């Protein structure tokens, strides 16, 4: 699409214009460091130089600029580090081959994660190129499930800091502190307070691995340039006794802040980041259920923000269910005719319920009809009116008139659901009996154990296929390998993980300068994702596209989000002529990891 067109920053445009070159495209107005590329492996015939305010060894030790052995001879002279590298210049392909050889020789997933993160700290371009070109192999190493282990071992394995930490000690200083971050054009922040890391519980400041992993996907899968992302931990303490006594724990060793002390910390942080980066998108991640919804409600009308576990997971589950209905040969508009059991009534469970309910209403159901399709259970059984005193307002919306407290298995026996979703963080909760019961009542039960990481999944892919005699439509939060049945059938389970949605949603929201993330944006994101699933995918038992197409998926979601932002009058950065071709508008803004020639800033 853009293959031969030149993409560069405004300053480079001026530089090139001065040199009489006009075959470039203007891209960004606010940036020195941008290296932008096309979403689908573009090959450019001309590369605009990047102006860097550094020289000599400082370049080699800056992971955003460093190319390691790929620096060419002229560049080594021009930038003053001849002699600091072995003589032979490699290219990104040979560097990648060398790295992959070493990575694949290692068998432990956590050690591979460390090798990748060390590369991240040395050379971001090569790191992201490895991710883009081998996303299926790398995603489980830098993200779920291995990132869970990386968080558990974060303190003991700490090497280099990445991102920012804000704690109560910083109160009164945050507006100044944000200027310690060396990049002036941050587009996306992923922030956690570490209170509910995946299904692993309160990991305090060790939860930093999650924002880092999510943001790697923002760059590789969503095409956000690496200098535009900022991982953050709000260090509000931890109630994890082990961590409080752990000699290598990295965070504040005090119990979690409560009440005003907690909310004041959050408030000052939000104001500080908005002050320095007024258009920044803030993604709330892995906040425990008792604060997640309040946090979202507090900021969603005035800040560009969303909660990934509530809204991102909800939109992803919706997309998976729409595809699963297609796989069953049913209309996608039959969502509101299903009976849906959600095991888990935390922020993810309720978030999924809310997104699905909204979709049913878009499809023409009344709110009452839509609500009536849900049977949400927590560890005390079915959410029912009799339990209202112990439920929060969002849970109360789903409380049923009868059978309050009915155990999960009995709910399945009595109400014969067609869909079973798990977000409990209780590994193995979906027993043989439960899945057999689902299969008695429904020819093709939809079974999505969504808890992460793998050990927390409510059942494995193998169990679900075996216990349903190969009849279920399965997707899980963490990846599972293909399953071969005794009769020789092979199923390739899909991963129903919010990684399919957040990179594209964030890309769309930031490129168009959206002022808010709305429920409709989540809905169109889910629709765009669902329409990406081919008939061939469905035949193989897949209800999500292969991870290898994640950049295209993100691109398509981003375009849908920009369209929706325009429709709702919330886009501030789309010119009339951009709106004529949103596909190209979004594609042009997507970062693609490749080396660009460096020029010293003082030189121009
Ligand atoms: O991180 C993931 O894989 C999905 C997610 O948001 C969670 O489980 O909290
Ligand atoms: Mg999460």
Would the CB of 457 count as within 6 Å of ligand 1? no
Instruction: Please tell me what DSSP assigns to residue 200.
Output: S
Average pLDDT over residues 468-483: 97
CA distance 517 to 300: 7
Q: Are residues 300 and 318 in the same domain?
A: no
- The helix, strand and coil proportions of the chain, stated in percent and rounded to the nearest 5, come to 50, 10, 40
Write out pLDDT tens, residues 179-204.
Answer: 999 999 999 999 999 999 999 999 99
Average pLDDT over residues 296-305: 97
CA distance 528 to 58: 43
Q: Are residues 228 and 140 in the same domain?
A: yes
14 in a domain, yes or no? yes
Closest ligand to C-alpha of residue 425 is: 1
Q: CA 62 from chain center: how many Å? A: 25
Write out pLDDT tens, residues 238-263.
Answer: 999 999 999 999 999 999 999 999 99
Q: Are residues 197 and 226 in the same domain?
A: yes
Q: Are residues 329 and 445 in the same domain?
A: yes
Q: Are residues 19 and 125 in the same domain?
A: no
The residue among 271, 306, 341 that closes a domain is 306
41 pLDDT exceeds 80?
no
Please tell me which residue, 42 or 400, carries the higher pLDDT value. Answer: 400
Question: Among 43-57, 91-105, 242-256, 332-346, where is mean pLDDT lowest?
Answer: 43-57
100 in a domain, yes or no? no
214 is catalytic: yes
71 pLDDT exceeds 70?
yes
User: Strand, coil or helix: what is 136?
Assistant: helix
602 pLDDT exceeds 90?
no
* Peptide bond before residue 286 is cis, with ω within 30 degrees of 0: no
CATH of the domain at 227: 3.40.50.10380
Per the document, the length of the chain is 604
The residue among 306, 323, 345 that closes a domain is 306
535 pLDDT exceeds 90?
yes
Contact 359, 337 (CB under 8 A): no
34 in a domain, yes or no? yes
Distances (CA, A) of 48 to 28, 35, 293, 465, 594: 13, 9, 45, 52, 12
CATH of the domain at 366: 3.40.50.720
At residue 180, the pLDDT reads: 98
Write out pLDDT tens, residues 193-234.
Answer: 999 999 999 999 999 999 999 999 999 999 999 999 999 999
Contact 144, 206 (CB under 8 A): no
227 in a domain, yes or no? yes
Catalytic residue among 67, 112, 127, 143: 143
Strands (E), 310-427: 340-343, 374-378, 381-382, 419-422
98 in a domain, yes or no? no
Nearest residue (CA) to ligand 1, atom 6: 309
112 is catalytic: no
Write out pLDDT tens, residues 485-504.
Answer: 999 999 999 999 999 999 99
362 in a domain, yes or no? yes
Q: Are residues 178 and 67 in the same domain?
A: no
**Closest by Cα among 249, 465, 446 to 356:** 446
Nearest residue (CA) to ligand 1, atom 7: 198
517 pLDDT exceeds 70?
yes
User: Strand, coil or helix: what is 127?
Assistant: helix
CA distance 591 to 604: 24
Would the CB of 458 count as within 6 Å of ligand 1? no
User: Strand, coil or helix: what is 208?
Assistant: helix
By most ligand atoms within 8 Å of CB, the mutation choice from 452, 454, 495, 501 for ligand 1 is: 452
Would the CB of 144 count as within 6 Å of ligand 1? yes
3 pLDDT exceeds 60?
no
25 pLDDT exceeds 70?
no
Nearest residue (CA) to ligand 1, atom 9: 198
Task: Give residue 370's domain range.
Answer: 311-573
The residue among 281, 306, 331 that closes a domain is 306
At residue 23, the pLDDT reads: 32
Would the CB of 578 count as within 6 Å of ligand 1? no
Nearest residue (CA) to ligand 1, atom 8: 198
CA distance 591 to 7: 10
CA distance 553 to 528: 8
Task: Tokens for 369, please give them.
Answer: 């009809």
76 pLDDT exceeds 90?
yes
User: Strand, coil or helix: what is 303?
Assistant: coil
Catalytic residue among 112, 214, 365, 589: 214
Q: Are residues 504 and 452 in the same domain?
A: yes
Q: How many A from CA of 426 to the centre of ligand 1?
A: 14
Residues of each annotated binding site for a divalent metal cation: 285-286, 309
Q: Are residues 301 and 316 in the same domain?
A: no
Contact 126, 97 (CB under 8 A): no
Would the CB of 497 count as within 6 Å of ligand 1? yes
CA distance 383 to 146: 33
Q: How many A from CA of 284 to the centre of ligand 2?
A: 8
Would the CB of 498 count as within 6 Å of ligand 1? yes
Would the CB of 311 count as within 6 Å of ligand 1? no
Q: Are residues 377 and 518 in the same domain?
A: yes
Task: Tokens for 435, please give them.
Answer: 């899945």
At residue 34, the pLDDT reads: 34
Q: CA 574 from chain center: how many Å? A: 24
Write out pLDDT tens, residues 408-438.
Answer: 999 999 999 999 999 999 999 999 999 999 9
Atom of ligand 1 nearest to the CA of 450: 8
Residues of each annotated binding site: 196, 285-286, 309, 452, 497
Contact 340, 419 (CB under 8 A): yes
Closest ligand to C-alpha of residue 191 is: 2
Query: Buried (b) or exposed (e) across 69-105, using 16+ Cβ within 10 A?
Result: ebbeeebbebbebeeebeeebbebeebbeebeeebee
Q: How many A from CA of 94 to the centre of ligand 2?
A: 35
Q: Are residues 73 and 150 in the same domain?
A: no
At residue 49, the pLDDT reads: 85
Q: Are residues 241 and 133 in the same domain?
A: yes
At residue 45, the pLDDT reads: 53
Q: How many A from CA of 498 to the centre of ligand 1?
A: 7
Number of domains in the chain: 3
Please give the mean pLDDT across all residues of the chain: 92
Nearest residue (CA) to ligand 1, atom 2: 144
Average pLDDT over residues 250-279: 97
What's this model's pTM, rounded to 2 decimal places?
A: 0.92
> Which residues 6+ apart lie within 8 Å of 374 measured at CB?
340, 342, 353, 356, 357, 398
What's the N-to-C CA distance of the chain in angstroms?
31
108 in a domain, yes or no? no
Q: Are residues 240 and 259 in the same domain?
A: yes
101 in a domain, yes or no? no
Name the band, by pLDDT with cuts 50, 70 and 90, for residue 36.
very low
Nearest residue (CA) to ligand 1, atom 3: 144
Would the CB of 286 count as within 6 Å of ligand 1? yes
Would the CB of 308 count as within 6 Å of ligand 1? yes
Write out pLDDT tens, residues 349-392.
Answer: 999 999 999 999 999 999 999 999 999 999 999 999 999 999 99
């Amino acid at each position: 699409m853009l293959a031969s067109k030149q993409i560069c920053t405004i300053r480079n445009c001026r530089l090139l214009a001065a040199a009489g070159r006009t075959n470039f495209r203007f891209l960004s107005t606010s940036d020195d460091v941008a290296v932008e590329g096309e979403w689908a492996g573009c090959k450019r015939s001309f590369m605009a130089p990047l102006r860097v305010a550094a020289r000599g060894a400082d370049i080699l030790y800056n992971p955003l600029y460093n190319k390691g052995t790929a620096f060419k001879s002229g560049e080594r002279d021009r930038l003053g580090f001849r002699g600091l590298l072995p003589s032979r210049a490699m290219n990104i392909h040979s560097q990648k081959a060398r790295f992959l050889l070493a990575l694949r020789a290692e068998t432990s997933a956590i050690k591979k994660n460390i090798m990748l993160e060390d590369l991240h700290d040395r050379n971001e371009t090569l790191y992201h190129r490895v991710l883009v070109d081998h996303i299926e192999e790398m995603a489980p190493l830098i993200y779920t499930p291995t990132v869970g282990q990386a968080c558990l071992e974060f303190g003991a394995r700490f090497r280099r800091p990445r991102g920012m930490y804000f704690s109560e000690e910083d109160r009164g200083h945050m507006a100044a502190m944000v200027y310690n971050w060396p990049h002036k054009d941050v587009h996306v922040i992923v922030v956690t307070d570490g209170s509910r890391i995946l299904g692993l519980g309160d990991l305090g400041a060790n939860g930093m691995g999650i924002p880092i992993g999510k943001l790697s996907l923002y760059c590789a899968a969503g095409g956000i340039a690496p200098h535009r992302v900022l991982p953050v931990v709000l260090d509000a303490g931890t109630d994890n006794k082990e961590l409080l006594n752990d000699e290598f724990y990295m965070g504040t060793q005090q119990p979690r802040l409560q009440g005003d002390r907690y909310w004041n910390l959050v408030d000052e942080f939000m104001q500080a980041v908005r002050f320095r980066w007024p258009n920044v998108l803030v993604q709330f991640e892995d906040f425990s259920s008792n604060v997640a919804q309040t946090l979202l409600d507090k900021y969603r009308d005035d800040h560009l923000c969303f909660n990934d576990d509530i809204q991102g997971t909800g939109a992803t589950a919706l997309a998976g269910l729409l595809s699963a209905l297609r796989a069953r040969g049913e209309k996608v508009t039959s969502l509101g005719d299903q009976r849906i059991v959600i095991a888990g009534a935390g922020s993810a469970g309720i978030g999924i319920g809310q997104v699905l309910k909204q979709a049913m209403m878009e499809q023409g159901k009344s709110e009452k009809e839509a609500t009536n399709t849900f049977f949400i259970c927590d560890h005390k059984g079915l959410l029912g009116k009799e339990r209202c005193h112990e439920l929060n307002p969002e849970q109360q919306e789903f409380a049923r008139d009868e059978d309050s407290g009915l155990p999960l298995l009995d709910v399945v026996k009595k109400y014969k659901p067609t869909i079973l979703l798990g977000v409990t963080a209780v590994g193995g909760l979906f027993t043989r009996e439960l899945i057999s019961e689902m299969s008695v009542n429904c020819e093709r039960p939809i079974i999505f154990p969504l808890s992460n990481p793998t050990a927390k999944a409510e059942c494995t892919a193998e169990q679900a296929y075996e216990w349903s005699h190969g009849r279920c439509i399965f997707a899980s939060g963490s990846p599972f390998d293909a399953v071969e049945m005794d009769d020789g059938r092979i199923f390739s389970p899909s991963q129903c993980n919010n990684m399919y949605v957040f990179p594209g949603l964030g890309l769309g929201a930031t490129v168009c300068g959206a002022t808010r993330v709305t429920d409709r944006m989540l809905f169109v994101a889910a629709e765009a994702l669902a329409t990406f699933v081919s008939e061939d995918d469905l035949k193989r038992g897949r209800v999500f596209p292969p991870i290898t197409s994640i950049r295209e998926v993100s691109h398509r979601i981003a375009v849908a989000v920009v369209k929706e932002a325009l429709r709702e009058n919330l886009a501030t950065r789309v010119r009339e002529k951009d709106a004529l071709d949103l596909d190209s508008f979004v594609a042009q803004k997507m970062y693609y990891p490749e080396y660009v020639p460096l020029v010293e800033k003082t030189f121009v």
